[in-house]
Structure 1
Amino acid sequence: MEEKLVEVGRRAQQKEELSELTINTEFEKQSLFFRFFKRIVDIFGSLLGLILLSPVFLIVAWLIYKEDPNGPVIFSQKRVGKQGRLFTMYKFRSMCTDAEEQFHDLLELNEIEGAMFKIKNDPRVTKIGKKIRKTSIDELPQLLNVLKGDMSLVGPRPPLQREVAEYSKRDLKRLSVKPGCTGLWQVRGRNDVHFDDMVDFDLEYIHNQSLYNDFKIIFQTVKVMLFSKGAY
């Protein structure tokens, strides 16, 4: 009973801290010009990506279906967005259909410190999943999230609810802006980076937002995807 009260109290405090982000977020202090053009870049960038990469979408969808006809091609999952709002994020399915059920059995194998779970040789990942993860092709459906306005092309990665439940007040600052498809974390090491370092990168991005930095990160992301460094 006491543990439940502590948990309820912690969640209430976290909710209060999230509400403060609405007022104190660095993003809201940015000029109207920046916010307007960032959204324009997101819309045209996601549309262009969806059009140009449509052949890749079709090929990957067919390969996933061929390997496992009984599972969905697109994997959808609830993620935490700006100021703690939940949204449905899309990815190409890279794991077996019962991956979530196996999660608790693999917790002790976690190779990332902090509020995140990653293991290099995750047994839940399918054969085609390993290939599309290497180049982050599994993340491409998130262009739909960008078009919808749930995400931006550049920003912190959207966390899971169970991860946010472990966030400190400092970690919660990641949620002061829209989550992104890519960011400083991806171009500075991807899965080789520890959680605390990822938070540092995200806060650095939030405090130095600009269209120039966004374009720079996007171009660096393309380079990282081509060489598949730090992906698993």
Structure 2
Amino acid sequence: MYKFRTMVKEAEFLKKRLKNEMDGPMFKMRNDPRITKSGRILRKYSLDELPQLINVFKGQMSLVGPRPLADEEMTGDDNWRKIRLSVKPGMTGLWQIMGRESGKFSDWVNYDVAYVQKRSPLLDLKILFFTVFTVFSKVGT
């Protein structure tokens, strides 16, 4: 997955010293000190995600779908893992527009499953519309 680098090179090493603000295997921190100054700007407007359009054009991702996760983040319920892997990962999804501020991994799981079960072109259009709104209103940043 292509992305602009927004963190310092030793980010994984430094992560061990930081407190995760999200329950579960995903690491999220509101004011993560590993993010560079330019990285904050890129992330503020989700510009760090733009290179993923290359993945979309290559057919590796779609515009809408469950966000790609690292293997170590795909823990827990085997059923959830099978459901989310049954579709291509997306640049945006239900969690990005509805659950971004919850801090609960279980919410992320529920939004992924709901998207896969209810997906349709109309739902994708709604998610794309609300993603633009979410980015410009800076929700969850």
TM-score by length of 2: 0.92
Does the aligned pair in 1 maintain the 2:96–2:131 contact within 8 Å?
A: yes
Greater Cα shift, 109-118 or 171-180: 171-180
- Computed over aligned residues only, the root mean square deviation of the Cα atoms, in angstroms, reads 1.3
Q: Residue 16 of structure 2: which of 87, 104, 114 is its match?
A: 104
Shift of 1:113: 0.7
What fraction of aligned residue pairs are identical, expressed as a percent? 51
1:115 aligned onto 2:37: no
- Deviations along 1:91-144, whole A, 9 cap, x unmatched? 1111111212222232xx001011211111211101111122122111111111
Count of residue pairs the alignment pairs up: 140
Runs of 4+ that moved beyond 3 A? none
Match of 2:52 in 1: 142
Match of 2:134 in 1: 224
Does the aligned pair in 2 maintain the 1:185–1:193 contact within 8 Å?
A: no
Shift of 1:171: 2.7
Taking the aligned partners of 1:149 and 1:138, their CA distance within structure 2 comes to: 19
Taking the aligned partners of 2:70 and 2:105, their CA distance within structure 1 comes to: 14
Q: Which runs of 5+ in 1 are unaligned?
A: 1-88
Query: What SS does the corresponding residue of 2:23 show, helix, strand or coil?
Result: coil
Taking the aligned partners of 2:45 and 2:104, their CA distance within structure 1 comes to: 20
Q: Residue 4 of structure 2: which of 67, 70, 92 is its match?
A: 92
The structure with the largest helix share of the pair is: 1
Does the aligned pair in 2 maintain the 1:134–1:228 contact within 8 Å?
A: yes
Task: Give 1 or 2 for the bigger CA radius of gyration.
Answer: 1
Match of 2:40 in 1: 130
Match of 2:80 in 1: 171
Match of 1:151 in 2: 61
